[in-house]
Each structure stands twice: as C-alpha cells, then as structure tokens.
C-alpha cells in the first residue's frame, strides 16, 4: 500500500532520479491541505451508513427486479451482503482519500472483484449504479453542500474550497465503477 509520500519515492526510484522540486511542491500542497483532507474523510465516514443504505435503496427503487425472486438482493442474506459490499467500498474509498493514493483501494478491494461478482452472478450494472449514488452523496458531503437530506448533515467546519478533494474522491469512486463494469 502506498500513500502520497511513498508514491513519490517509488516513482522517482523507478526512473533512478532524486525527488525533484515539483514532487516536493506537490507534497507541500498535500501537507498544507491536510486538515481539509481529514475533514473530507470525516465527512464521508460520519455519513457512511446513510450513504450506503440510500444507495442500495436507490437501486432497489430504480429496478424492482432486484428484490424479486432470483434478483440480486432477493433474500435477506443477499441484501445483507450487498449492504456490506457498499460499506466495504466506501471504507476503502475513505482510506484512499486519507492516503492521497488509490493503491489500498486497488490492491485490497478491487483486485479480483469483477471476477467474484461474475462468479456469484452479482449484477454489476446495479452495483456500479449504487457506487455512482454513493459518489454523488460523498462529493456533496466533502464540499459540505449536501441539501438533499436533513440540514443537520451539514458539518460545522472552517469554510474553504474543497473542490479538489471532492474531485479526488470522485476519481476513487470512478475507479470502483470501472473495475466492476
Ligand atoms: C476486501 C474487500 C471485499 C470485497 C469487495 C468483497 C466482496 C464480496 N461480495 C460478495 C457477495 C455479494 N455481493 C452482493 C452485492 C450486491 N448484489 C446486488 O444485487 C447489488 C447490486 C450489490 C450491492 C450493491 C451480493 C448480493 C453478494 C452475495 C451473492 C451470493 O452469495 O449469491 C462476496 C462473496 C462472499 C460473500 O458472500 O461474502 C465477496 C467476496 N469481499 C471482501 O472481502
């Protein structure tokens, strides 16, 4: 598993070069935005169960076949597995956002997931849609612009521009979607 710092060392090593000034500037920016990043991770993790249940409810509303006999979440066992998978994905996205690097998500969550889903007959289109709903929710949580649920979900944080962190979080959700699609 890599983070923003070890990633720079590994890529410099692969070209046999020292860490250059542009890499150091990137890392300075990473440190300067550290508190924002922690707030962004907190925004996601404090709302995780709401985001997961909302996303799974969403796919079930959009596609009634999922809860019908032989559907993807038909039986409590499969519904429980689906909710758990949503939580796993969100947890690994939050780890990647904390580290500023996707390797933990890629290596420990997404590696082989497409094959697992194919073997079990988990409908990947619906799974990707659930991830897309979580992405929409998470990006509004990170920018603190969420107004689709109770207003109390807005967090008391120092005002600032979190658009870059929101875009970074979005890119991790996109990796999940492309890994299973
Ligand atoms: C380390 C990270 C990690 C991941 C990512 C993971 C995923 C994962 N999801 C599974 C199952 C599953 N995943 C789902 C998920 C869904 N079904 C749907 O229709 C929805 C679209 C979707 C929810 C959004 C379902 C229903 C199963 C059970 C399938 C079955 O047993 O028939 C399984 C098979 C074993 C089990 O049932 O527990 C694995 C390994 N496990 C891990 O340890």
Q: What is the pLDDT of residues 27-69, one digit of tens each?
A: 999 999 999 999 999 999 999 999 999 999 999 999 999 999 9
How far is the C-alpha of 109 from the C-alpha of 92, rounded, in Å? Answer: 7
Look at 136 and 154; give whichever has higher pLDDT: 136
Residue 117 has pLDDT above 90, yes or no: yes
Give percent above pLDDT 70 in the chain: 97
* pLDDT higher than 80, residue 153: no
- Domain 23-180 fold is Globin-like (1.10.490)
Q: Is 58 in the pocket of ligand 1 (CB under 6 A)?
A: no
Residue 151 binned pLDDT confidence (cut-offs 50, 70, 90): low
Query: How many A from CA of 133 to the centre of ligand 1?
Result: 18
Q: Whose CA is nearest to atom 43 of ligand 1?
A: 109
- How many residues belong to the chain? 181
Give the whole-angstrom CA distance, residue 141 versus residue 44: 6
């Amino acid at each position: 598993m890599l983070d923003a710092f070890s990633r720079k060392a590994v890529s410099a090593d692969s070209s046999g070069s020292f860490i250059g000034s542009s890499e150091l500037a990137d890392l300075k920016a990473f440190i300067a935005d550290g508190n924002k990043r922690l707030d962004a991770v907190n925004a996601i993790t404090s709302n995780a169960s709401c985001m997961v249940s909302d996303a799974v409810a969403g796919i079930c509303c959009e596609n009634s076949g999922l809860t019908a006999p032989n559907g993807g979440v038909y039986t409590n066992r499969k519904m429980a597995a689906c909710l758990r998978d949503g939580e796993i994905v969100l947890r690994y996205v939050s780890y990647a956002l904390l580290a500023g690097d996707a390797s933990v998500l890629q290596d420990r969550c997404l590696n082989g997931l497409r094959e697992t889903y194919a073997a079990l007959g988990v409908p990947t289109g619906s799974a990707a849609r659930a991830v897309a709903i979580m992405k929409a929710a998470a990006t509004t949580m990170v920018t603190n612009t969420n107004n689709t649920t109770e207003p109390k979900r807005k967090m008391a944080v120092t005002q600032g521009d979190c658009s870059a962190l929101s875009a970074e979080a979005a890119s991790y959700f996109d990796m999940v979607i492309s890994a299973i699609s």
